[in-house]
A and B are shown apart, each in its own frame.
Chain A
Amino acid sequence: MENILSYIPLDIALIAENFDRFMYGVWITLNLTFLALLLGGLLAIPIAIARASGHRILNPIVQTYTYVFRGTPLLVQTYLIYYGVGQFEVIRQSFLWDPILSSAWWCALIAFTLNTAAYTTELLRGAIADTPKGEVEAAIATGHSYRSRMRRIILPSAFRRAIPAYSNEVIFMLHGSVVASTITLQDILGVGRWLNGRYYLAYEGFITAALLYFLIVLCITWTFRWFERRYLRHLVRREVTSETNLPAPTTT
């Protein structure tokens, strides 16, 4: 073992020594990413319904919100909240300042939540708009109200249809969460940068971080594949057996 390790041009012992720190970074990253995804997802559902309804007042407001948050980098959004908000004396004096807006963790969570909510809204809106017209007409014909139509017919199938696109959003949010390391948080990359800075290294911290992120993305991909197999089973093409291909027997 010792012999094999000596061929790798990385200081494995140092990484192993600081592995608990990296585990703490994994915790921070997962915590931030999935909390933002949860809150953003919950926020996106009513917003997407409002957007899909084509309401005269709500629709333009929602559209502006998603346009603004999808048109600017997450880094700028996070900086704007973390560094920018302190410019205003009113906010610094308010009750929000001490526990929330002065903490990097909360600012990152707010920025990530607003960002992912904007993307998820557009994604859900697309899925809602893609509902087959016949299903909606059938629901109307059987006397479903708008609310029960949404709850029983449109949303369940829209959620299912959104799964593949949502898996991309989850991965992008994980990729985006590295922004947290630029506002002093010790997420996976934060720990990697700390390690490299402390021991004056060029690779170890970043390569460990890259491997950890890669593992998390693999887990997310597998989970979503399982979800798709389970919830999109009705969309998979059935195998055509050779029997059904045979011409119908002629009756004589």
Chain B
Amino acid sequence: MDLILEYQSQLISGTLMTIKLALSSLVVALFFGLLGAWAKLSSNRLAQRVANLYTTIVRGIPDLVLILLVFYGGQVTLNNTGAATGLWGYVEVSQFIAGAGTIGVIFGAYFTETFRGAIMAIPRGQIEAGISCGMPQSLIFRHIIWPQMVRFALPGFTNNWLVQLKTTALVSVIGLQDLVYNAFTAGRSTDKLFTFMAAAFVIYLVLTGISDLLLRALDRRYSRGVVRA
């Protein structure tokens, strides 16, 4: 315990990095998720094809493979294109950008399915009823679509977010100083790896626990008035 207190600044900075990484990749994931859901629901054949290809590829390749590919391969590609076109000089892709970007794109595919399901679950008649009452588009979205879309998407969102938070641990493999990386180096230097990995274990448990509680409260708020069997 004393040992953990001695290294607490390392653990805290690692935890903050993990949270920062998870939240940044969530923003990317939500963007790609909405884009993907829009593409899958649109009448444009090409958009549907591209979105299907995107979700299939992401589902087929493990996260760590993509992270490594983007981090090492992306760097080379970027610099080769820069050298060939002469538009930019040497750039270095940071671990944070590679990690947040890749995890965001990966989970965007999972959010695509969540959002698509949520939008499809809203009865069409309700929107038509709104139109016939003379509601403007913005009011229909605010009062009819949004509250129900959130309600239908929340269980899937909670699930995706918890998986995503845990996936960020993989970024320690490319050397980003997140919770796992810092706990590991602290454990290595003191020869007490179990103590520090257990500390990381508990911190992850706390993070997922807090997310779970908050999202459940949100779920209660958005499913007021829904009778559950």
Measured in the bound complex, the distance between the Cα atoms of B64 and A178 in whole Å is 7
Q: Are B69 and A85 in contact (CB under 8 A)?
A: no
Is A41 engaged at the interface, CB distance under 8 Å to the other chain?
no
Is B68 engaged at the interface, CB distance under 8 Å to the other chain?
yes
Is B150 engaged at the interface, CB distance under 8 Å to the other chain?
no
Per-residue contact bits, chain A 73-84, to B (CB 8 Å; 1 contact, 0 not): 111110110011
Chain A nearest CB: distance from B142 CB in Å? 34
Measured in the bound complex, the distance between the Cα atoms of B59 and A77 in whole Å is 23
Is A38 engaged at the interface, CB distance under 8 Å to the other chain?
no
Q: Are A76 and B62 in contact (CB under 8 A)?
A: no
Is A166 engaged at the interface, CB distance under 8 Å to the other chain?
no
Q: How many contacts A-B (CB < 8 Å)?
A: 110
Q: Are A86 and B193 in contact (CB under 8 A)?
A: yes
Is B130 engaged at the interface, CB distance under 8 Å to the other chain?
no
Is B158 engaged at the interface, CB distance under 8 Å to the other chain?
no
| Chain B facing A: main interface SS | helix
**CB-CB < 8 A to B200: which residues of A?**
76
Q: Are B69 and A80 in contact (CB under 8 A)?
A: no
Q: Are A71 and B208 in contact (CB under 8 A)?
A: yes
Measured in the bound complex, the distance between the Cα atoms of B89 and A190 in whole Å is 32
Q: A75-B170, A75-B172, A76-B180 are in contact. Are A217 and B60 (CB under 8 A)?
A: yes
Classify chain B's interface size.
35 or more
Q: Are B192 and A75 in contact (CB under 8 A)?
A: no
**CB-CB < 8 A to B73: which residues of A?**
202-203, 206-207
Is B204 engaged at the interface, CB distance under 8 Å to the other chain?
yes
Q: A80-B198, A206-B72, A218-B60 are in contact. Are A73 and B192 (CB under 8 A)?
A: no
Q: Are B61 and A193 in contact (CB under 8 A)?
A: no
Measured in the bound complex, the distance between the Cα atoms of B60 and A178 in whole Å is 13
Is B209 engaged at the interface, CB distance under 8 Å to the other chain?
yes
Q: Are A85 and B61 in contact (CB under 8 A)?
A: no
Interface residues of B in 58-112 (CB under 8 A from A): 59-66, 68-69, 72-73, 75-77
| Chain A facing B: main interface SS | helix
A-B contact pairs, 21 of them (CB 8 A): A71-B208, A71-B209, A72-B204, A72-B205, A73-B204, A77-B201, A79-B184, A80-B198, A85-B194, A86-B194, A175-B62, A176-B62, A189-B65, A196-B72, A202-B76, A203-B69, A203-B73, A206-B65, A213-B65, A214-B57, A218-B60
| Additional A-B contact list (12), CB under 8 Å, known A72-B201, A76-B169, A213-B62 | A71-B162, A72-B204, A73-B169, A77-B201, A79-B197, A80-B197, A84-B187, A86-B193, A87-B195, A203-B72, A203-B73, A214-B57
List residues of B whose CB falls within 8 A of some A CB.
57, 59-66, 68-69, 72-73, 75-77, 162, 166-167, 169-170, 172-173, 180, 184, 187, 191-195, 197-198, 200-201, 204-205, 208-209
List residues of A whose CB falls within 8 A of some B CB.
68, 71-77, 79-80, 83-88, 171, 174-179, 181-182, 189, 192-193, 196, 202-203, 206-207, 209-210, 213-214, 217-218
